[in-house]
Copies of this chain bind each other. A is one copy, B any other.
């Protein structure tokens, strides 16, 4: 195996066979099938989600593109209450990519899948010329089984629901930015990148039917997620500034760099909308899980003619939290 990816590695011939056997095979249990499609058992209802990962840089404090690609797709399945079962992995390699970088990313990806009981069942590998890509793009598509009779969905939120977030916001966004710009920060910030299906299952089982909606807080952060849900469920959402968890070092970096932590991407945080009567039970279940220890309730849902998200500031005034307008931090996931 040469050290750098060449176009021959994507051409469907011998060089490609070597790449598949020596590097890509790490994703699969035993001997990969290399069939055109994998055949799998799936009884009842399945959840399907897809995501392409174009994160920059490929390695960052707390993870790399491989960990992110497995985590992001597992999380999207978890947000529908599905148990993640299968994953496909499609790679776009840029000519000249160090094989060692690919190898590390695939190992991270595989590691997350193994930990979470997800089987990688199909894949694809393409190579593009130098300058036509950016090192490594990974698409992962996930299939999960849905056992919930009424799976959480962004249209199912009701007035009086409580709004819960599972931990401090903005770590992933700031960790990425610091890694990209090589900013010197006194306190290092690590991405929150983590698979949330265990946390979600704990919350769902604590009070069946009580979790009406779940969103992981990726691109666009809490601001985008709350606005999307307000629109989809046609409700108003009110949250309180003083209740929103943000680490002091993230708050500091945001002030320095002019970012709003509510707009920053996270890769291991979720927002849950929980029936008022069961919020304590669900909150405690979340706090007992290692990835939900810092969970808090930050607001509630109100009826209202026009969908809207408002924040009660620490000064006691109220401001509208709008959808982030345009380019914040590109290539965040």
Shortest CB-to-CB span from A9 to chain B, Å, is 9
Given A88-B49, A325-B14, A330:B7 Cβ within 8 A: yes
Report the stretch among A134-142, A164-172, A243-251, A313-321 that lies at the interface: A134-142
| Cα A15 to Cα B89 with chains together (Å) | 29
Task: Name the contact of A36 in the complex, choosing from B79, B88, B224, B263 (C-beta under 8 A).
Answer: B79
Q: A interface, by DSSP: helix, strand, loop or mixed?
A: mixed
Chain B's nearest CB lies how many Å from the CB of A211? 14
**A144, closest chain B residue (CB):** B37
A8 to B331, CA, bound (A): 11
The CA of A88 and the CA of B206, in the complex, are separated in Å by 32
A-side residues, CB < 8 A to B, are 6-8, 10-17, 33-54, 75-77, 79-80, 82, 86, 88-92, 121-124, 126-129, 131-134, 137, 139, 141-144, 146, 151, 153-155, 214-216, 218-221, 224, 228, 232, 263, 265, 322-331
Q: Which B residues touch A41, using CB under 8 A?
A: 44-46
Question: Would you call B216 and A13 a contact (CB within 8 A)?
Answer: no
Cβ-defined contact, B37 with A49, below 8 A: yes
Q: Is the CB of B325 within 8 A of A15?
A: yes
Expressed in whole angstroms, the Cα–Cα distance for A72 and B144 within the complex equals 24
CA distance A8 to B329 in the complex (A): 9
Q: Are A132 and B129 in contact (CB under 8 A)?
A: no
Copies in the complex: 2
Contact B228 A34 (CB under 8 A): yes
Q: Which residues of B contact A325 (CB under 8 A)?
A: 8, 13-15
Q: Does the CB pair A154–B326 fall under 8 Å? A: no
- Asked if A80 and B142 make an inter-chain contact with CB atoms under 8 angstroms apart, the answer reads no
**A6→B324 CA distance, assembly (Å):** 15
CA A134 to CA B134, docked complex, whole Å: 10
- A7 and B327 in contact (CB under 8 A), knowing A35-B80, A126-B52? yes
A223 to B294, CA, bound (A): 57
Output the residue of A10, A50, A137 with the most chain B CB within 10 A: A50
In the bound assembly, the distance between CA atoms of A265 and B12 in angstroms comes to 9
Bound Cα distance from A324 to B15, whole angstroms: 9
Instruction: List the 9 closest pairs (A to B, CB-CB), nearest first.
Output: A12-B220, A12-B219, A13-B324, A8-B326, A37-B49, A50-B88, A141-B141, A132-B134, A36-B79
In addition to A34-B232, A36-B75, 14 A-B residue pairs with Cβ atoms within 8 Å of each other are A10-B219, A35-B153, A36-B215, A37-B48, A37-B79, A37-B144, A39-B46, A42-B46, A46-B143, A48-B122, A131-B131, A132-B133, A139-B139, A139-B141
Give complex CA distance A325, B330 in Å.
Answer: 38
Looking across the interface, which residue of chain B has its beta carbon closest to that of A331?
B128
Closest CB-CB distance, A80 to chain B, in whole Å?
4
CB-CB nearest in chain B for A148: B39
Q: Which residues of B contact A144 (CB under 8 A)?
A: 37
Q: Within the assembled complex, what's the spacing in Å between the Cα atoms of A216 and B35?
A: 11
Provide a sorted-by-A list of 6 A–B residue pairs whose CB atoms are within 8 angstroms. A12-B221, A36-B75, A37-B79, A37-B80, A46-B46, A54-B132
Contacts of A220 in B (CB 8 A): 11-13, 16
Query: Please, which residues of chain B bring their CB within 8 A of the CB of A38?
Result: 47-49
